[in-house]
Amino acid sequence: MYISLNNIKIKLILLLDEVMNYIKKFISDIKLNNENITDNINKSYYDNTINNYELNNTFFIHTDKNTPLTNIISDNVYKVKVVNVLTDNKIKGIININSNFLKFNFIILNKNFSTKEELYYFISNNKDIETMLYEFNNHNYFIRVMITEINKKNYVLCNII
């Protein structure tokens, strides 16, 4: 008896197509609290509260892996790894959101530092500004922040906790 590989491939493709159609139908018929899942997903996407100058599209441009940041502005306290001190109230840091490590420029609102050195001392307890990059690259310095807003330049405005 002769069996053609092409016939087997075609039959497998048709079978997989039927299985995928069944899975799609099954998923689309699932109800959650008397609502379709797709309705629930669409509502949660549009119900988010965001204090951003430009809407969600800005986030997709600014982040890696198209990670939506709609819940970043909240009462949650985030731990930020400090990478660099840029000015007297601005730092560059890395934050973990949805299992993605994203780098942002953070502007500190609730504490006033007169110089870059003063902010560096607050974070690291080290007065030698010349070794700042060495310290941040070879040691972990974290600050706890609460994010209040993202401004039109995509700086994350936060309060140190």
Examine the domain organization and report whether 81 and 37 are in the same domain: no
Instruction: Report residue 148 CA to chain centroid gap.
Output: 15
Q: What is the pLDDT of residues 118-155, one digit of tens each?
A: 999 999 988 888 888 888 888 889 999 999 988 888 89
Residue range(s) defining the domain that contains residue 35: 5-46
Q: What is the pLDDT of residues 31-72, one digit of tens each?
A: 545 554 444 444 444 444 444 444 444 444 444 555 556 567
Question: Is pTM, for the whole model, over 0.75?
Answer: no
Q: What is the pLDDT of residues 71-124, one digit of tens each?
A: 678 888 899 999 999 999 999 999 987 777 888 999 999 998 999 999 999 999
Strands (E), the chain: 31-32, 35-36, 78-85, 90-97, 100-108, 142-150, 156-160
Question: How far apart are alpha carbons 82 and 93 in whole angstroms?
Answer: 4
Examine the domain organization and report whether 88 and 113 are in the same domain: yes
92: helix, coil or strand?
strand
Domains of the chain: total: 2
